[in-house]
């Protein structure tokens, strides 16, 4: 797969993972629910521990132009309570596809195949977050584990289903000081986070 396909796979996963909608409340008179940043819902899956690290298996199933397509990626996830999350994605052969970091309200994204990076406050995307369509999220815990072993993300509007499986999970590890530090590689162009959304609308 070429760089354009890598980026497409990456965005499909990141958009689904970080941008799902919040659930609606059941009321006698239907009302539009108050918007809540959906990333907080993802962080909530790990809130029972102080820190976490795990390898991930990511399967993406979607339909493009009537054709069924699927991809499998490897990844690595880091979490620190209450609001630090890092997810790195790799091709099965080891090539780095993306490095997504959320830290204290800011979102950082590096796409090595494109030699591009994006950064900005996640709150600046709230208008977009409310228009991506319904996304259903479910999870599964094995036995009496503190965190889910699997998370399923379904995006009916895009005919997309994503499975995120956590492997080799380590609870409450001592993470290094640079675990959530963002370093810009030489030669990488840094753009505003709004450019990422505009690029998808074209």
What are the extents of the domains in the chain?
3-201
Query: In the prediction, which pLDDT does 66 show?
Result: 85
Give the pLDDT confidence of 92-134 residue by residue, as tens digits: 888 889 999 999 888 899 999 889 999 988 777 666 666 766 6
> Do residues 20 and 9 touch, judged by C-beta distance below 8 A?
no
- Nearest of 153, 152, 179, 149 to residue 167 by alpha carbon: 149
State which CATH number among 2.60.120.560, 3.40.50.720, 2.50.20.10, 3.40.30.10 fits the domain covering 3-201.
Answer: 2.50.20.10
Nearby residues of 144 by Cβ (< 8 Å), 6 or more positions away: none
Give the pLDDT confidence of 143-189 residue by residue, as tens digits: 657 888 988 878 787 788 889 899 999 999 999 989 999 888 899 99
Nearby residues of 77 by Cβ (< 8 Å), 6 or more positions away: 52, 53, 54, 55, 56, 85, 86, 87, 88, 166
């Amino acid at each position: 797969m070429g760089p354009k396909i890598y980026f497409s796979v990456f965005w499909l996963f990141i958009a689904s993972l970080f941008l799902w909608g919040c659930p609606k409340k059941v009321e006698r008179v239907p009302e539009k629910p108050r918007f809540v940043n959906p990333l907080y819902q993802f962080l909530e899956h790990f809130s029972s521990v102080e820190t976490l690290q795990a390898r991930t298996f990511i399967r993406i199933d979607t339909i493009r132009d009537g054709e069924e397509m699927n991809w499998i990626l490897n990844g690595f996830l880091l979490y620190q309570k209450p609001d630090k999350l890092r997810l790195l994605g790799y091709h099965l052969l080891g090539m780095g596809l993306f490095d997504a970091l959320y830290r204290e309200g800011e979102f950082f994204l590096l796409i090595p195949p494109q030699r591009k990076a994006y950064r900005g406050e996640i709150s600046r995307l709230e208008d977009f977050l409310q228009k991506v369509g319904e996304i259903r999220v479910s999870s599964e815990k094995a036995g009496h584990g503190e965190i889910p072993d699997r998370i399923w993300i379904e995006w009916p509007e895009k005919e997309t289903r994503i499975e995120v499986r956590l492997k080799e999970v380590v609870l409450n590890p001592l993470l290094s000081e640079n675990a959530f530090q963002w370093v810009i590689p030489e030669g990488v162009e840094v753009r505003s986070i709004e450019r990422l959304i505009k690029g998808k609308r074209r």
